[in-house]
Amino acid sequence: MHAYRSHTCADLTSANVGENVRLSGWVHRVRDHGGVLFIDLRDHYGVTQVIADSDSPVFAELEKVRSEWCIRIDGNVLARDESLVNPNLPTGEVEVFIRDIEVLGSAAELPLPVFGDQEYPEDTRLKYRYLDLRREKMQDNMKLRSDVVASMRKRMWDKGFREFQTPIITASSPEGARDFLVPSRLHPGKFYALPQAPQQFKQLIMVSGYDKYFQIAPCFRDEDPRADRSPTDFYQLDLEMSFVEQQDVFDTIQPVITGIFEEFGKGRAVDQTWEQISYRDAALWYGSDKPDLRNPIKMQVVSDHFAGSGFAIFAKLLETAGTEVRAIPAPSGGSRKFCDRMNAFAQKEGLPGMGYIFWRKQSADSIAQERGITVKEVNALIKSGEITLGNEAAGPLAKNIGPERTEAIRVQLGLEVGDAAFFLGGKPKAFESVAGKARDVIGKELGLTDLNRFAFAWIVDFPIYERDEETGKIDFEHNPFSMPQGGMAALDGDPEDVLGYQYDLACNGYELVSGAIRNHRPEIMFKAFEIAGYGKDEVEKRFGGMVNAFQYGAPPHGGCAAGVDRIVMLLADADNLRDVIMFPMNQRAEDVMMGAPSLPQNEQMRELHLRALPPED
């Protein structure tokens, strides 16, 4: 028999009854039923119940074991009594009577439990990550991650792509975040960088004539952490293709992503048709370039209904160029209690509040006030048929702008009695993000968001440039390496009108994929950077390897990268990226388990010709 096991803890069934077996694993929990010990023995594959009573030759030794001890047991497979069968376990029909035991590794008192699903402080979980990873949920998450990556690879190979590895130590290249710099021992005073993405290398692979490339690529960015972003490193499904247009990239990656979500989505609906939404429309309708389309709410501009109205705040605001008022429809949200709750939400987000209107059935009281008669008289008129109760708008805004304007707003938004609308005004960039968050909250609180679905949309037509309102300076708003729509001719007009062949894929409120058709023409690239204030010398200095390569017959090419961590996070129903990464950093970009970052040895600093300055107070 093998030294440690004849079967895993998921293998045994009623077909094994009567066999002598050997199992190894961790003590998941111990139950003492008055002279009979029941131990749930767990390994990577599953759980088997093992038992011992006073007849077992190792009963006294078994009484010493505790949770998370690593043990080996030998014993006989017994059939459980029919009333004790556990249908939730693959091994639930049997148990193993222990004849021999070997303690492979005893465990000290646990800093956090493995049994159950208790929540512990994140730093405790990360400091003892090897224990945290033993938990069933974490085991499932990491197996899911491995399976997703394997499926990605297979799907890419099936599409005719080959996987090539790109360097981990390279030159600094601005990709929109801070580099991690690596000092050179052999070249004192100079630094390498860890790649923020394989962007330049994968483009050079296309110049080299390889046509289709992919890689499960590690990327390194010195970023502030968020729930959906790692502060140090992450992995992406990176791909690039030659002789393609934007739609070719979409047609390539869509079946890969769709297949992954169908394979691992636990039966949830997966959108088969992916809408293409312009960046500007996404900002207008959803307040985000990564909208959650499970929520059907679309925001609309309603400025005309407030211009010159009795609501002075919006009326005066609209006199300033570049301002507008947008409405967030809230079907079924027509109660003052809900409207007040959303107003408080806006205040927590740093705004003075959110105006609102809700529509209700007209009351005798409101008609009495409007006509200057008593409620009794109104009721008599209703009874006689001279008055029919209609709909009325309620809320402070409704009183200020009057019934004609509120009715026009209701008709534009397609709302009915029992519905509401919320309003934000100003320069869109100042309130769009809050409006987008409000839309998400409204959709979830009112039960409008379909939580059992993966909803995808391509966000396209990103502007390449933006103008600083204070200085008037033009700079890149998005990827500077995207091919401008219209090529060189597009760069002769207003820079703020120039759109790029750049695209993102949004799913359930997250950006999953980002990519572009690349600017492979040196003359267009130099012109594009010149508009943003970067001269030819600066471009050649910063991106010399790629610019030089483009002078030797570069093919049209494009591609994208899909975030592996975010995809797995969605599939695992996790709220935090750190729950799907084996050994993540904490919120302060620290590895509390391994003690990183750490102070270097003086000898290391001397070898690198470096001196560390004390932090500024």
Closest-CA residue to 257 (of 237, 275, 240, 242): 237
Q: Per the annotation, does 564 bind a ligand?
A: yes
Q: Per the annotation, does 478 bind a ligand?
A: yes
- Backbone phi and psi for residue 207, each to the nearest 5 degrees, phi listed first: -60, -30
User: Please, which contacts does 396-400 make with residues 24 or more away whose CB atoms are closer than 8 Å?
Assistant: 396/355, 397/311, 397/355, 397/356, 397/357, 397/423, 398/357, 400/309, 400/310, 400/311, 400/312
378: enclosing H helix or E strand: helix 375-384
Q: Per the annotation, does 349 bind a ligand?
A: no
Q: Per the annotation, does 63 bind a ligand?
A: no
Q: Per the annotation, does 132 bind a ligand?
A: no
**CB of 72 within 8 A of CB of 104?**
yes
Q: Per the annotation, does 222 bind a ligand?
A: yes
Q: Per the annotation, does 563 bind a ligand?
A: yes
Distance CA 311, CA 313 (A): 6
Q: How many CB atoms lie within 10 A of CB 336?
A: 13
Token pair recorded at residue 530: 């010149």
In this structure, what DSSP letter does residue 229 have? B
**CB of 68 within 8 A of CB of 110?**
yes
Q: Per the annotation, does 447 bind a ligand?
A: no
**CB of 538 within 8 A of CB of 529?**
yes
Closest-CA residue to 514 (of 236, 224, 214, 226): 236
User: Please, which contacts does 192-195 make with residues 24 or more away whose CB atoms are closer than 8 Å?
Assistant: 194/168, 194/169, 194/170, 194/220, 194/233, 195/166, 195/167, 195/168, 195/170, 195/219, 195/220
Q: Per the annotation, does 223 bind a ligand?
A: yes
Residues contacting 408, CB < 8 A, separation 6+ = 305
Binding residues for ATP: 221-223, 511, 563-566
Binding residues: 175, 221-223, 478, 511, 518, 563-566
Binding residues for L-aspartate: 175, 221, 478, 518
